[in-house]
A and B are shown apart, each in its own frame.
Chain A
Amino acid sequence: MIINHPLLGPRDAAEFIYLGDASLIDRPDWQDEDADEKFYEYGYLRDNPAGEHQELWYHEQGDRSWLLVTRNTLTHEISKVELARDMARARGRSK
């Protein structure tokens, strides 16, 4: 596979390390009332869709960017690649 890195252009997927679902960005607040339940869901439950999937890849053999890749799990087509840090901010993880 080829991942079109937003800063570096197309790179072979072998340069990257895969982590998993982009929901791993959405780490719950430890002080929430139902933090136990939320952390269980965060840590263990996955949508695991057959189709479009947002997921995290790390450019280990490259610039060390974490990327948020939108990829189809049936066809492997990649429709979007973004910097995970920007997406984390967009998902409200700014301090």
Chain B
Amino acid sequence: MRYSAFKIFTQGLTGNKGWKPVWREPDPKPEYDVIIVGAGGHGLSTAYYLAKEYGITNVAVLEKGWLGSGNIGRNTTIIRSNYMLPGNEPFYEMSMKLWENLEQDFNYNAMISQRSILNLIHSDAQRDAFIRRGNAMYLAGADAEYASAEQLRQELPFLDFDNARFPIKGGLYQRRGGTVRHDAVAWGYARGADSRGVDIIQNCEVTGFDIQNGTCRGVETSRGPIRAKKVAVCVAGSSGRVMAKAGMRLPIESHVLQAFVTEGLKPVIPGVITFGAGHFYVSQSDKGGLVFGGDIDGYNTYAQRGNLPVVEDVAEGGMAIMPIIGRARLLRSWGGIMDMSMDGSPFIDKTDIGGLYFNGGWCYGGFKATPASGFCYAHLLAKDTPHPVATEMRLDRFKRGHIIDEKGQGNQPNLH
């Protein structure tokens, strides 16, 4: 069913009774060409691009819970391509370009809104680093803009320019950055994949891999075994748990990132703003809530919840740059489990086990990568070679010494 204003009009006149399910609820077939483990954003976009770009439609996406129940359903919705390193930036810029055409591509309004992202600068050294980054973005074909403190005072007068502990000395804008209605991304991809014949099977947990002589031939699930020529794991947050079933240890730790939303408010801020001298980033949703977050709690966990010290630290960061939000009320806090990798960068790669592929390690940056991650994973699954923008996202890079460490924090996942 194609969506349009006309469709809404005709359905509205007939009591909205003619809407069809956005996806089927199929039973698993005994065998598929490709099984994707995990119907999160990346898994669903992988399925969508496999079907749409590479013509592979005999695909199942297996989901333990409900589709979109992973981090696609609990992130802070930010899209940006303001990375610096050659292993990353071209990939994220490709993702941004896919975002820019996504809604027309999958005929679903995911409310992609390029209202800008601003990284505040609080020291000269930080300015140098952001100029380096902004220039790298340009070299990769992205946009970047340096804003002076005076310019920001004009544009965002509510920031604390006069009494800040760490004065605002400027900022790096990416005007094409912004936010997306996160759940709608999962639904749009699911709808697009389903309509092309992909089976999305919810409430179907993968309990093991069928590995014989170093080759993966399928999976065991809560709904019985399913064979496949290729098995593509895509379960960021649970990567450690799932890949352990295949006997693999990963350069990944699981950590919780808390996120927060205030009660709905009339427009306060235009785009995304990030604090450079503390842990706080914020945007305002189309519904009016200030959506914000900060740093991970910092200890290994698989519990999708955090603790108070980080809640308060994040609020302090918010009040430090925007003391106007003191009387806005925090409505809800939640937590998502992050695949924190050893250099802060992800993996889209084959494994040492034949027919078993791995996509994970997205740290807390996976949402913005959703289109490119799916596209590149689909490319790898279809052609068995990495997509040109994802050639460095390899599992063996640490052994080789090819580190993609944007923050320069080294092999300690909770610092990325």
Contact = CB atoms under 8 A, between A and B. Distances in A.
Q: Do A and B bind each other?
A: yes
Interface of A: 1, 12-14, 18-21, 40-41, 43-50, 53, 55, 71, 73-76
Contacts of A41: 249
B299 A18 contact: yes
B275 to A, nearest CB: 20
Contacts of A47: 240, 244, 249
Contacts of A44: 251, 342, 398-399, 411
A20 B302 contact: no
B341 to A, nearest CB: 9
Given A19-B412, A20-B300, A44-B411, A14 B253 contact: no
14 contacts: A1-B307, A13-B309, A20-B414, A40-B398, A43-B398, A46-B249, A47-B244, A48-B240, A48-B254, A50-B240, A53-B300, A73-B254, A73-B303, A74-B303
B301 A18 contact: no
Interface string B232-258: 000000001100100001111110000
Contacts of A45: 249-251
Nearest to B249: A45
Contact of A48 (B252, B309, B414): B252
Nearest to B299: A18
B298 interface: yes
B413 interface: yes
B351 to A, nearest CB: 13
Interface in B283-329: 298-303, 307, 309
B253 A46 contact: yes
Q: Which 3 A-B pairs have the closest CB atoms?
A: A48-B240, A14-B309, A45-B249
Chain B CB within 10 A, most for which of A21, A41, A44, A48: A48
A20 to B, nearest CB: 6
Nearest to A71: B299
Contact of B300 (A1, A13, A73, A75): A73
B62 to A, nearest CB: 19
Contacts of B300: 20-21, 48, 53, 55, 73
Given A74-B302, A75-B303, A76-B303, A46 B399 contact: no
Interface in B204-252: 240-241, 244, 249-252
